[in-house]
Amino acid sequence: MQTTFFVLAALLYAVCAFLPSHQRLAISAGTAVGWLLHGVALWGDVITPGALRVGFAVMLSAALWISVAAYWLENRNFSLDGLRVLVLPSAAAAVLLPVLFPGNVMPLAGKSVLLSWHIAIAILAYSTLTIAAFHAVLMALQESKLHTRPGAGANGWLAAAIDRLPALLTMEKLLFRLIAFGFVLLTLTVLSGVVFSEELFGKAFQWNHKIVFTLLSWLLFGLLLAGRHWRGWRGKTALSFTLSGFATLFLAYVGSRFVLEVVLHRGLA
């Protein structure tokens, strides 16, 4: 049943990604239905009796599920068609990953209830900063288009979608709201992982690749917010920090889990 829902959600996302922008009602309705199917399938796949299914595919699929919700809600207040053509194709691909890479089952027996909260907050942090990265990519394309001579740029569907984006300053405000919220969630993820490490994972806190990359990402986003507040950082500086922070965070869990599960064929680590 979960596989069917995953496939249907992927198809709806893909169709909605390429529908003409004037079909707003169809896009909104199709995205909402796809999101609901995606969520039901994720719940059935991840939540098993007395255990949780974890892995890079589940994390990435969940992150894109929340990113689709963020796009859908934001698009009701702003015309973010450019975000649609980035988020929905990515979600269409990510939604199928748990079918191909089921990950590992983590027994919850003897684990603290804090573990579920830690995982939920971590997924929210990844998801919020994922949508911020999509915003940053759009802003980079939008800024590049501003410096292109009229008639010299591309005339494809992506270029048309970028033309319909809000003003660059509005996009920048949205970006920093997302980063601030994601930074708070990431801070909670780091603190809960460090303070409750033994209770969460059954072992004392130890340095590893995931911790190092997560802390480096946290530092990059923290520096960006501080630079924004104290030095007025914006434009290319803000975009560079955002994409660097996201890439580092991606490596912290999704990238490292991909190597462990797919390349090295190892279980939970």
**Tens of pLDDT along 56-98?**
788 888 888 988 998 888 877 777 777 888 889 999 998 998 8
Letter for the amino acid at 221?
F
Contact at 8 Å (CB) between 237 and 172? no
The model's pTM is 0.78
| pLDDT over 60 (residue 262) | no
* Token code pair at residue 98: 């748990």
- The per-residue pLDDT of the chain, averaged, comes to 81
* Residues 192-223 as b or e (16 or more Cβ within 10 Å = b): bbeebbeebbeeeeeeeebbebbbbbbebbbe
Ranked by mean pLDDT, which of 183-197, 214-228, 255-269 comes out on top?
A: 214-228
